[in-house]
Structure 1
Amino acid sequence: MPRIYCTDHLQPGLELDLPSGAARHVQVLRMQPGQALCLFPGTQANGEFTASILEMGRQHVRVRVEQAHTVDREAALALHLAVGMPANDRMDWLVEKATELGVARITPLMTERSVLRLKAERADKKRQHWQAIAIAACEQSGRNTVPVVDAPCTLAEFVATVGAAGQPAHSERWVLSLAADARPVTQRLAALPQPCQGTHAGRVLALSGPEGGLSAPEETLLRAQGFSPVSLGARTLRADTAAIALTSAATLYLPEKRAHA
């Protein structure tokens, strides 16, 4: 059954015209009246909804919402990935794969050694482009929660927001590092507090550098802000490979939940 992202307030019995982007998606699939599809508004609290197509027009698609379903396909650990943007189309690939793996939020960063530099209107267009990639990845992978893709910012701007009022609190802050004192990410994961039944394992902010890595002053700055150095092993990975390897380790982490006392 095709899955379509629809931000409208959905409830059983509601008839509505799909938003233009969702309508185009259905038309491209050459669906017909009477066929079923799955709608999701992008927030886990709302889950997903089965719907049936009532009418296919040239410019619109009308559907009726049939039934609500509460389905949790999110990772046990909520990962906020801050990443030095790789060049060319590798950032597109990174956003797609990180979303499929279950990342909760992505912040594109411009660091000292970053090749890609984005400002103003160009930065906003890229953010919209990457958000659309995340939505498409949710439609494909079965996720009901669309991760937020932030506007690109400098490392200094990002560090200034960490821990600020109104920003999500993180149980851990990590930075990928080749330093001798960096602990394996598996050890960091094993040291996390075990969640109780009905709760998640926590929220981790993990930062991965660009091609060429973070500079020594940048890593010093992050450590001063409470970022612990973590390692993915002895090999030096490409920037996009490292970010996805870190995401995989964190989002596929399955802690043993303890029963409430």
Structure 2
Amino acid sequence: MAIKSPRIHVAADLRVGGDVVLPEGPARHVARVLRLAEGAALRLFDGAGHEAEAVLVEASRKRVVARIEAVAPGAAESPLAVHLGQAISKGDRMDYAIQKTVELGVAAITPLYTEHGDVRLKGDREAKKLAHWQAVAASACEQCGRAVVPPVHPPRALAEWLAVRDEALRLVLHPATDGALEGRATPADVALLIGPEGGLAEGEVAAAREAGFAPLSLGPRILRTETAPVVALSLLQYRFGDLGGA
């Protein structure tokens, strides 16, 4: 069985014949964890849609350099653009939601402050958490084959996010409904709103509906806040995207 070349995200200009110095984290992984030597093959992607075949021309403990041999457009993006509004949750739950929805082709993510959400970030803490979430998204792209890293936007209040939504299909996950996707035409883009562990407040659901959001139910069981977007994205991609829906 052929061993796949490591796939690494680098925010660099990928040009045939050009050299790319790997950032500290990826360089350490290549040189010290994978123990790759000069001549080893790599796959690089720039996060903006370009994929490159490369070969190591320097692999020391201090510096790792890859030379670009071929560049092509990435081929793993979904035709369905889904903007996820995800209520911020504690611990690893938010990381899980970001990681899995990126694997499922989400186009953008906005962490949301909601009435029942118990996470409030400010200043440096918010900036560090945002950088961490964006790194989670990039890592998920390395694993799943995407060449576009979806943006994780700065956290904002739910009302602010609702006010600027103009997607063709807007959905709010709400278990106390019988809302479904059957019978809907394929939209150009989708906004998907997922509440916190305690659920969205009644006023928030009403505000979402006033902003054009239709309720969506995922069945009789209550899903965790990190599970719900995974199930919803899977259904959307199956019904309207590239997971084999009719």
After TM superposition, the score normalised by the length of structure 2 is 0.90
Paired residues in the alignment total 237
Q: Aligned in 2, Cα 1:94/1:105: closer, same or farther, shift over 3 Å?
A: same
Return 204-213 or 116-125, whichever deviates more. Answer: 116-125
Q: How does 1:197-216 map to 2 (within 5 A)?
A: 202-216=188-202
SS at match of 2:12: coil
Q: 1:177 aligned to 2:174?
A: yes
Describe the shift of the 1:255–1:10 C-alpha distance in structure 2 as closer, same or farther (beyond 3 A).
closer
Contact 1:173 1:227 survives alignment (8 Å)? yes
Question: Equivalent residue of 2:94, what SS?
Answer: helix
1:119 maps onto 2:122 in alignment: yes
Deviates more, 1:219-228 or 1:233-242: 233-242
Residue type of the partner of 1:240? Answer: E
Shift of 1:109: 0.8
Tell me the residue number matched to 1:233: 219
Answering whether residue 3 of structure 2 is matched by residue 6 of structure 1, we say no
Matched residues in 2 for 1:87 and 1:157: separation? 22
Alignment equivalent of 1:33, drawn from 38, 41, 63: 38
Contact preservation (8 Å) 1:77, 1:253: no
CA contact (8 A) 1:113 1:215 kept: yes
Structure 2's unaligned 5+ residue stretches are none
Deviations 1:52-85 (A, max 9, x none): 0001122211111001123311123111111112
Q: Tell me the residue number matched to 1:64.
A: 67
Q: Give 3-state SS (helix, strand or coil) of 2:226's partner.
A: helix
Aligned pairs (5 A) from 1:141-156: 141-156=144-159
Find the aligned partners of 1:50 and 1:9 in 2 and give their Cα distance.
13
Counterpart code for 1:191: R
| 8 A contact 2:87–2:113 mirrored in 1 | yes
Output the aligned Cα RMSD. Answer: 1.8
Q: Any idea what SS the aligned residue of 1:136 has?
A: helix
From the superposition, tell whether residues 64 and 255 of structure 1 become closer, same or farther in structure 2 (CA, over 3 Å).
closer
Q: Any conservation in 1 of the 2:28–2:61 contact (CA below 8 Å)?
A: no
| 1:251 aligned residue | 237
Residue 149 of structure 1 deviates from its aligned partner by 0.7
Q: Which letter does structure 1 place at the counterpart of 2:190?
A: V
Letter in 2 for 1:38: R
What letter matches 2:207 in structure 1? L
Give the 5 Å matches for 1:184-199.
Answer: 184=180, 186-187=181-182, 190-193=183-186
8 Å Cα contact 1:211-1:239 kept in structure 2? yes
Q: Is the 2:9–2:47 Cα contact (8 Å) retained in structure 1?
A: yes
Scaled by the length of structure 1, the TM-score of the pair is 0.85
For 2:35, the aligned partner's letter is R
% identity of equivalent residues: 42
In structure 2, what is the Cα distance between the partners aligned to 1:125 and 1:97? 21
With over 3 angstroms needed to count, the CA separation of the structure-2 counterparts of 1:64 and 1:136, relative to structure 1, is: same
Match of 1:134 in 2: 137
What letter is aligned with 1:119? K
For the 8 Å contact 2:163–2:211, the answer to whether it is kept is no
One of 9, 12, 20 as aligned partner of 1:16: 20
Please tell me the residue identity of whatever aligns with 1:183: G
The alpha carbon displacement at 1:209 in A equals 0.5
Query: What SS is found at the alignment partner of 1:112?
Result: coil
Q: CA deviation at 1:255?
A: 5.6
Aligned mates of 2:30, 2:155 — CA distance in 1: 31
Residue 228 to residue 43, structure 1, CA distance change in 2 (3 Å): same
CA distance in 1, matches of 2:240, 2:215: 22
Does the residue aligned with 2:227 lie in a helix, a strand or coil?
helix
Secondary structure of the equivalent of 1:108? Answer: strand
